Each structure stands twice: as C-alpha cells, then as structure tokens.
C-alpha cells in the first residue's frame, strides 16, 4: 500500500476536529463567548433604548410670563395658581413647575432634578430679576436690548488639524476592535490547544508509534489544519451571530457601517491562527511533560498579548504615524491592519498588501517550526529552550 501525504493530513485533520468537539473546555468557552456576544448586544440595546426613550418636554409656569426659551425644546404651559401647577407635575403632564410668589421662585418637581431643569431655573430667575429691574428703571425690554452690547463667541479646536477621523468611522472602529478581541481569544483557544495536544502525545509516547507510520510534517500539518478549520468555522459562526444581533437590534446603521470589515477580520484571523498554531506546536514539541509547557509557550503568549492589547490600549492614538507603521509589521498587523482599515487610514489594497507580508512571514515561520518539530518531537533529553531549538540542524 502506497503512502499518501494527502490521506494522512486529511485523517489527522478530521481526528483533531472530532477531538475539539469532544473537548469540554473548548465547547464551554465557545458557548460563553457566544453568550457574551449576544448578551452584550442585548444589554447595549436595552440601555441605549432606555436613554433614547421619549422625554417629557413640558414645563408649567405660574406668577410670571415668558413666551419662549432660547436654545431649548421645552414646551411652556401656564397655570393660574400654585395648586394647578402642582397638579400638572403630579399627574406627569409637566416635568417641572416654576411658581413665582411675591419675591420667591419655587421649583416643583417629582423627586429628581435634571441638569436642564436646573438651567431653566437659573434662566427664569435671571429673567424675572431683569424684568423687575427694567420696570424700576422705567425701561422697556426693547429699549434695553437696543442699548445692550453683544459679544460673539467663536469656538476653535486646536486639535482639529490633528484629528481628521470621520465621526461615521467610529461605528467601524468599535466594531473592528470588538472583532479583533474576539478573534484573538479564538486564536489563543485553538492555537494553545495544538500545543497542549502535541505535548500530551509526546509525554504518553504515543507519538513514537504514530511517527513510525506517518511522516512527522504530515502529522503536524494535519493537526494544525484540523484546528484551523474548526477554529475558523466556530469564529465565523460567532461573528455571524454577532453581526446578525447588531443588525436586528439596530445598534449599527447600514449607512454608517462598512460590512467589508468582517471579511478583513477573517483574513487576519486565518493568518493569525495558522501562525500561532505553528508556534504553539513548536512550543509543545520542545518539552517532555505538560507541566513544562508553560515555560516554552510563555514567549508565544506574550506575543499574543502584544497583538491583542496594543490596539486596545492605544486606540485613541489610532491616527498617529507609528500606529500606521505597526499595521505593516507582522505579526502585529493581525490586530492593527483591520483596525486601520476600519478607521479609513489604509485602503483595501494596502490592507491586502499588509496581509501578503503577513502571509510571507507566516510561511517562513512554518519552515522554521517544521525544522524544530522534526527534531524535537522525538527528542527525549532535557527540556529545550527556544534558542536551542532554533539552532538545531535536521537532516
């Protein structure tokens, strides 16, 4: 019977997918992530709708006269007495009441005073004082206005030349940063699973039996491919449900959101999960026991944290030149390129070029990992370090 690399890779891939489906830890994590996506959307929708609920914009006044309020959308009702004003507020027909009796201005409310009502109280107080003062001086409102100097107020933002972000891009940026966070969690979950599986097979010596019948690199390829397929399918499902939730909830408006961000995130995810799965496989092959895996996978974890947290921490500096440059540096480009694309700082072809650079980098790292794995998987000596593994020579 002739040996077939394709058959070996296919069989190992299917085996890894079945193993992932049986993994309680992976399935629980995916369920929690799915609940977080849908639940987060539902909670955000609830609070946004609550804040956007129609507000009572009616107030009642008594004891003085005012026809309109500058820069306010409140509707003014007039009551004949304090009792009538109190009744309107108690029944909810007016948000607040303002009653002038002798030299006292009373504010009637239902237990909560909003900042705009406090502002109206001060406005009415100043209006009443001005009216009484003009009456004492024998002047009309028109005469006072004609003699009053005016000063125009001009606002100038010193940062307006620095911050050129289109406000509509904020929808895309926030969606992209959430997407990057979900993708990196998924990459960590499935890539780390590759490393754990490699170490488990090596510590149980079962790998020695497997390698006697199949080529080591075919076995490694199938292992990575199986996790990539299952991880990608799971992530597409989560992103799809998340996008559907956002669309159904109305949190993201069609005219404000660029749906091309989702395929951009998936491209970055594919390259990221292949790269980190290979790195974790090398880390797993360098140790004899699962207890020692932490020491070799720490550099990989630090790299993942860097890719994940630099976009989150420096989000406010997304338009800075150094943030643009990071989008071209692999593997940091996995998290930064989609974000820059969402912000409109790079075009579609520039994003594609950044991903091509990441693809070249990933391919070169796969070659390095293949050399490490071929040597380390059957190595039974002392625990290897990354510097030692990179210096090995395979025949």
Average pLDDT over residues 128-146: 81
CA distance 112 to 128: 24
- Quick one: pLDDT at residue 55? 63
Reported as a single tens digit per residue, the pLDDT across 266-304 is 899 999 999 999 999 999 888 888 778 888 888 999 999
End-to-end CA distance of the chain: 26
Of 164-178, 181-195, 347-361, give the range with the top mean pLDDT: 347-361
pLDDT computed for residue 15 by the predictor: 92
**74 DSSP 8-state letter:** P
Confidence band, pLDDT 50/70/90 cuts, at residue 54: low
**pLDDT, average across residues 110-138:** 84
Task: Name the least confident of 84-93, 146-155, 386-395.
Answer: 386-395
What is the pairing mode between strands 96-101 and 58-62?
parallel
**What percent of the chain has pLDDT above 90?**
24
Task: Name, in order, each residue with C-beta under 8 angstroms of 161's C-beta and a sequence gap of 6 or more.
Answer: none
| Confidence at 341, pLDDT banded by 50, 70, 90 | very high
**pLDDT-based confidence at residue 261 (cuts at 50, 70, 90):** confident
Task: Say whether pLDDT at 251 is over 70.
Answer: no
Residue 28's pLDDT is: 92
Average pLDDT of 367-372?
90
Return the pLDDT at 148: 77
Torsion of CA 127, 133, 138, 144, to 10 degrees: -50
Q: How many CB atoms lie within 10 A of CB 233?
A: 11
What is the per-residue pLDDT across 19-42, written as a single tens digit (0 to 9) for each? Answer: 889 989 889 988 998 898 888 888
In the chain the domains, ranked by start, together with CATH numbers, are: 5-41+168-390 (no CATH), 58-147 (3.40.190)
Indicate the pLDDT class of residue 70, thresholds 50, 70 and 90. Answer: low
Tokens of 154: 């001009």
What pLDDT does residue 336 have?
93
Comparison of pLDDT for 338 and 135, the residue scoring more: 338
160 has pLDDT over 60: no
Given 3-state DSSP classes, what are the helix, strand and coil percentages for the chain, each rounded to the nearest 5?
65, 5, 30
The pLDDT assigned to 279 comes to 92
Dihedral pair phi/psi, residue 209, rounded to 5°: -70, -40
Q: Give the pLDDT score at 50.
A: 64
CB 108 within 8 A of CB 85: yes
pLDDT confidence tier of residue 253, bands split at 50, 70 and 90:
low
- Alpha carbon distance 252, 242 (integer Å): 11
Q: State how far the Cα of 21 lies from the Cα of 2, in Å rounded to an integer.
A: 31
Q: What is the per-residue pLDDT across 230-243, written as a single tens digit (0 to 9) for each?
A: 999 998 888 888 87
**How much is the pLDDT for 202?**
85
Q: Are 215 and 5 in contact (CB under 8 A)?
A: yes
Choose the most confident range, by mean pLDDT, from 124-138, 222-236, 254-268, 285-299: 222-236
Listed in order, strand segments (DSSP E) in 210-302 are none
Q: Mean pLDDT score of the chain, rounded to an integer?
A: 84
> Whole-model pTM?
0.70
- pLDDT over 70 (residue 252): no
Mean pLDDT of 326-352: 92
């Amino acid at each position: 019977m002739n040996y077939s690399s394709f058959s070996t890779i296919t069989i190992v891939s299917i085996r890894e997918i079945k193993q992932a489906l049986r993994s309680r830890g992976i399935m629980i994590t995916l369920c929690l992530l799915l609940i977080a996506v849908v639940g987060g959307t539902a909670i955000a929708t609830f609070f946004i709708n609550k804040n956007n609920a129609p507000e009572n914009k009616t107030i009642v006044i008594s004891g003085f006269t005012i026809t309109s309020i500058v820069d306010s959308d409140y509707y003014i009702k007039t009551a004949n007495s304090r009792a009538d004003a109190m009744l309107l507020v108690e029944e909810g027909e007016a948000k607040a009441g303002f009653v002038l009796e002798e030299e006292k201005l009373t504010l009637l409310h239902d237990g909560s005073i909003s900042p705009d009502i406090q502002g109206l109280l001060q406005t009415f107080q100043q209006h009443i004082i001005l009216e009484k003062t003009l009456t004492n001086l024998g002047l009309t409102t028109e005469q006072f206005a004609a003699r009053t100097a005016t000063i125009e107020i001009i606002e100038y933002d010193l940062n307006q030349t620095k911050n050129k972000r289109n406000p509509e891009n904020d929808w895309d940026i926030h969606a992209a940063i959430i997407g990057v966070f979900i993708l990196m969690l998924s990459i960590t979950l499935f890539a780390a699973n590759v490393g754990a599986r490699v170490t488990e097979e090596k510590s149980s010596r079962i790998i020695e039996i497997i390698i006697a019948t199949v080529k080591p690199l075919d076995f490694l390829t199938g292992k990575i491919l199986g996790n990539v397929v299952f991880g990608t399918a799971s992530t597409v499902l989560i992103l799809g449900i998340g996008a559907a939730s956002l669309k159904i909830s109305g949190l993201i408006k069609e005219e404000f959101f660029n749906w091309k961000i989702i395929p951009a995130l998936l491209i970055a995810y594919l390259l990221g999960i292949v790269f980190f799965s290979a790195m974790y496989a090398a880390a797993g092959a360098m140790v004899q026991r699962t207890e020692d895996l932490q020491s070799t996978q720490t550099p990989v974890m630090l790299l993942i944290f860097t890719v994940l947290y630099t976009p989150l921490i420096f989000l406010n500096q997304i338009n800075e030149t150094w943030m643009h440059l990071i989008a071209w540096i692999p593997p940091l480009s996995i998290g930064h390129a989609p974000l820059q694309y969402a912000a409109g700082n790079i075009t579609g072809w520039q994003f594609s070029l950044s991903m091509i650079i990441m693809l070249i980098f990933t391919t070169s790292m796969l070659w390095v990992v293949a050399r490490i794995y071929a040597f380390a998987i059957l190595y039974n000596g002392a625990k290897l370090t990354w510097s030692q593994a990179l210096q090995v020579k395979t025949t």
